[in-house]
Amino acid sequence: MTTERKNPAWLEQAVFYEIYPQSYQDTNADGIGDLQGIIDRLSYIQELGCNAIWMNPCFVSPFYDAGYDIADYKKVAPRYGTNADLKRLFEEVHKRGMHLILDLVPGHTSIEHPWFKESLKPEHNVLSDRYIWTDSVWEDPKGVANITGSVSGLSDRDGACATNFYTIQPALNYGFANPTKPWMQGVNDEGPMATRAAIKDIMRFWLEMGCDGFRVDMAHSLVKADEDGQATIALWQDFRAFLDTEFPNAVIISEWGQPDKSLLGGFHMDFLLHFGPSHYNDLFRVEEPFFSQRGKGDVSAFVKKYLDSYQKTQGKGLICIPSGNHDMSRISERLNEEEIKLAFVFLLTMPGVPFIYYGDEIGMQHLAGTPSVEGGFERTASRSPMQWDHTVNAGFSSADPELLYIPIDPNPNRPTAEKALQDSNSIYHEIQQLIALRRAVPALCSSGAITFLYAEENQYPLVYRRTKGTEEIVIALNPSGNAVSCKIDSADPMETLYQRGGAVTLQNGQLEMEAASAVILRITK
């Protein structure tokens, strides 16, 4: 099976906006965001410049893990609306020339899913092998690669069921790469193949309704005892073949964090994640981030790891760097408003498809200490309601504040979309300008190549070149509070397309940058 595939054309200029639906806009005063709220705010998202949306799970769930514990894959949770509302959201998005992808959770379900309830029965039935069960309630499957725990004693079935995250999330059965016990099925056995078919059916259901693809939760975790990931790669190649045949314009984006594996598996894109070996946190979320004005950060380890992944995946797909997401601390936890603006210069000029987490465009704060809600724990701090204006509950909901899913930021000076739109120097307008530039300059789009010109250990600035065809663009970033200089291999003269902060000069390969500055230059040879 070839790994040289073309992405759907719409990804070339895509900029995604992630929506956590319960926290975006409440229209029925129950304190929880809903689909109608997203429809009502589409103009805001479009005017920012984003032309694609990733929405976190909106399906029937007991919400022990904020909707990632699904009890019905084909039904919208009543808190958000109905299937008809979601179909209408697809239609309204498409009317604007935008796209919307859903969150696919193929690794596990809720213990309340009808599949699991059937699998609990001691008598063998067609769903007995939908999940991973040992042959004895006393045999714990935990310890096998990609199995995080187990649940047992829920019924008279003699066995323990593997879990994929929390203990209320039983793991779906895609088989074992290397079965070593009688209860371990191979990837091509009847049970695992039936699970594949069921997930394809779910994907087909939403794609036929108007969905444009899926972000896939824990995509690396499906096949168990798969130490090198090869069986999981083959599994996703099968899913990609299904999409290429029936829905060639649909995209799949993986939560994997190893692009050399995920893109080989057929994913169009893979996220660099806040966990694992990407050094992503070195940029924004360690004690001394690279984008801090203190100037004590280090970008070199990130660049080295990024280049390794980039070189291995050329022609296979894209690497995506998000501003944040529902599992990460907000970018504002370590960076102030001016630092965030420079961070977005980086995020919006890198290859791949940028993802902006709702609220990051206005500098919403990371609300450390927020009590855990629906299995969020410390992650709840980055899931607070969107702050729209100065009215009650910051315009998120007209409900009694006590009814809010998560409390609003209590700071009376909290950032709001209203303030951001009125301030020409806001993060919102900076992002808006950068997205417009990205679309106008082919080398800055998703597939434009990258070469790093200066990314030295414990040094500033960061300088890289983007190219597409004959067009060459140089991006230079000095987030530190000190003036810096460096030698780079780049031709003169150049046209300035964008500049932020202090003066920047480039003559005969010598780059001089004042503190807290950024520049985007086009080579005009």
Give a yes or no: residue 299 inside a domain: yes
Same domain for 346 and 245: yes
Arithmetic mean of pLDDT over the chain: 96
Taken in order 252, 75, 22, 196, is the CA torsion positive or negative? Answer: negative
pLDDT of amino acid 191: 98
Instruction: Give the CA distances from residue 273 to residues 73, 324, 375, 382, in Å, rounded to whole numbers and listed in that order.
Output: 26, 9, 20, 16
Same domain for 275 and 332: yes
Distance CA 69, CA 92 (A): 28
Distance CA 419, CA 117 (A): 50
Give a yes or no: residue 336 inside a domain: yes
Give a yes or no: residue 269 inside a domain: yes
Same domain for 350 and 313: yes
- 489 is written with which tokens? 């291999």
Give a yes or no: residue 500 inside a domain: yes
pLDDT of amino acid 1: 38
- 149 is written with which tokens? 């725990």
**CATH number, residue 458:** 2.60.40.1180
Same domain for 239 and 90: yes
Same domain for 77 and 205: yes
Q: Lowest mean pLDDT: which of 2-11, 152-161, 172-181, 185-194?
A: 2-11
Give the burial string for 141-152 (b: 16+ CB within 10 Å, else e): beebebbbbbbb
Q: Is the pLDDT of residue 2 over 70?
A: no
Same domain for 488 and 383: no
Q: What domain range is 503 assigned to?
A: 449-523
Tell me the one-letter amino acid at 310: Y
pLDDT of amino acid 3: 44
Same domain for 341 and 461: no
Q: Is the pLDDT of residue 271 over 50?
A: yes
Same domain for 510 and 369: no
Tell me the one-letter amino acid at 252: I
Q: What is the mean pLDDT of residues 56-66?
A: 98
Count: domains in the chain: 2
- DSSP secondary structure, 121-155, as one string: SSS--TTTTSB-B-SSTT---BTBTT--EEEE-SS
Q: Nearest Cα to 2, choosing from 201, 180, 237?
A: 237
Among 376, 403, 438, residue at a domain's last position? 438
Same domain for 399 and 456: no
Q: What is the mean pLDDT of residues 81-91?
A: 98
430-461 tens-digit pLDDT: 999 999 999 999 999 999 999 999 999 999 99
- What is the torsion angle, in degrees rounded to the nearest 10, for the CA atoms of residue 107, residue 113, residue 116 and residue 121? 180
Same domain for 490 and 344: no
CB 25 within 8 Å of CB 37: yes
Same domain for 489 and 391: no
78-82 — which CB contacts under 8 Å span 24+ positions?
A: 79/22, 79/30, 79/32, 79/34, 80/21, 80/22, 80/32, 80/33, 80/34, 80/35, 81/34, 81/35, 81/36
Q: Lowest mean pLDDT: which of 247-261, 275-289, 339-353?
A: 275-289
Number of other CB atoms surrounding residue 400 within 10 Å: 11
Give a yes or no: residue 172 inside a domain: no
Q: Is the pLDDT of residue 274 over 80?
A: no
**CATH number, residue 259:** 3.20.20.80
492 versus 377: the higher-pLDDT residue is: 377
Among 396, 413, 438, residue at a domain's last position? 438
Q: Is the pLDDT of residue 273 over 90?
A: no
Q: Is the pLDDT of residue 192 over 50?
A: yes
In the three-class reduction of DSSP (H, G, I as helix; E, B as strand; rest coil), residue 318 is classed as strand
Among 404, 438, 472, residue at a domain's last position? 438
Question: Would you call 139 exposed, middle or buried from its count of C-beta atoms within 10 A (0-12, 13-18, 19+)?
Answer: middle
Give a yes or no: residue 160 inside a domain: no
Same domain for 470 and 419: no
Give a yes or no: residue 118 inside a domain: no
Give a yes or no: residue 23 inside a domain: yes
